[in-house]
Amino acid sequence: MAKLEHVNITVRNPEQTAKMLCEVFGWHVRWQGASKMGGRTVHVGTQDDYLAVYTLSGEASQKAQPREALAGLNHVGIEVDNLAAVEARVKAAGYKTFFHGEFPDETPARANFYFEDENGIEFEVAAYRR
């Protein structure tokens, strides 16, 4: 069996991004400090899995890579229990939500929305009705 443990994403300000993720998803900071490659990393998530939000030192961290580029990050999907409550926290944090959807042909019990953070990272937030 294999399980996804973490994803590492490059951001402009890891502390700011970690704060938003904690507020919106109820996560906590698991670790933070200097990264092996120079720069800083903050691990934010649950006891079982996390996002590593990382910044390089210097100008390299300012280079954007669009979602459509080969090997570019398209979006990060987060499953939640209460979609409406999380959407309210996303909006309270100052982000706009878009593409609210349900997929009756694909997954009848799933609904979602998207938002984009200040780094240009798109998050898909989904809930399953079980």
- Closest CA relative to residue 112, chosen from 130, 98, 92, 93: 98
Q: Are 27 and 21 in contact (CB under 8 A)?
A: yes
Q: Same structural domain for residues 50 and 84?
A: no
Quote the strand ranges of 5-103, DSSP E: 6-10, 28-34, 40-45, 50-55, 76-79, 97-103
Q: Does the pLDDT at position 67 exceed 70?
A: no
User: What global pTM score does this model have?
Assistant: 0.86
What's the rounded mean pLDDT across residues 38-54?
A: 94
pLDDT at position 60, please?
54
52 and 97 share one domain: no
pLDDT tens-place string over residues 81-115: 999 999 999 999 999 999 988 665 666 678 899 99
53 shares its domain with 104: no
Output the domain CATH number for residue 84: 3.10.180.10
Measured CA distances, 16 to 13, 24, 91, 119 (Å): 5, 12, 16, 10
Question: Quick check: 58 and 10 in contact, CB under 8 A?
Answer: no
pLDDT at 52: 95
| Number of domains forming the structure of the chain | 2
- Give the range of the structural domain holding residue 82, as residue numbers without chain letter: 74-130
Question: Does some domain include residue 66?
Answer: no
Helical H segments across 26-117, by residue range: 83-92
Q: Identity (one letter) of the amino acid at 93?
A: A
- pLDDT score at 36: 80
Question: Which residue blocks in the chain are alpha helix, DSSP H?
Answer: 14-25, 83-92
